[in-house]
Amino acid sequence: MDSEALELYKIFIDDLVKLHPGVLPRWIMGDGWPKTVENEKVNKVLGELTTEQKEVFALIAQSARDGGIHDVLVYLTDQINLEGFEIAKNGVKMATEPFGSEMYFDWVCRREGDEWPDSNK
C-alpha cells in the first residue's frame, strides 16, 4: 500500500475526530450561544435549565453532530465502493479501507481513542 495514500487516509479520519466534541455542547454547558439578539431566546431557555438538563441537551447536540459525520462517512464509503469515485489531495489518491474496515468504523474507533491498527503500540 502506498504510504502517502495511507497517511492521507489517517489524516482525513483524524481531522474529523478533532471535530469532537462540537461547539454546541460547549455552549450549552457554558455561557450559552454568542450574545446576539438572534440568540436571546436560546440563552434564556439555557439559563433556566439545571446542570443535569444541560448535560442531556449537550449529549443530544453531540449525538446529532456525531451522527451527521458518521452518515457522511457512510455515504462516502458507499460512493468509493462504486466505480469512479475517489478522494484525493494534491494528486494523491486517498487509501480505501486500508485496514479492512469502513471509514465510519475507523472514525468511531479513533474517536473512542483506539490506536491505528498499524501503530507500534
Residue extents of the structural domains in the chain: 3-21+50-111
- Nearest of 13, 36, 14, 32 to residue 23 by alpha carbon: 32
Sole residue written with cell 431557555: 45
- Percent of the chain at pLDDT > 90 equals 83
pLDDT at residue number 108: 96
pLDDT at residue number 84: 80
- If you average pLDDT over residues 1-25, what whole number do you get? 92
Nearest-10 Cα torsion for 98, 20, 15, 97? 10
pLDDT in tens, 66-104: 999 999 999 999 998 887 889 999 999 999 999 999 999
Q: Is the pLDDT of residue 1 over 80?
A: no
92 forms bridges with which residues in the sheet?
Answer: 89
89 forms bridges with which residues in the sheet?
Answer: 92
93 forms bridges with which residues in the sheet?
Answer: 88
Distance of alpha carbon 15 from alpha carbon 9, whole angstroms: 10
pLDDT classification of 121: cutoffs 50, 70, 90: low
pLDDT at residue number 82: 81
- Please give the model's pTM, rounded to 2 decimal places: 0.84
- If you average pLDDT over residues 10-35, what whole number do you get? 94
pLDDT classification of 17: cutoffs 50, 70, 90: very high
Tell me the three state secondary structure of residue 92. strand
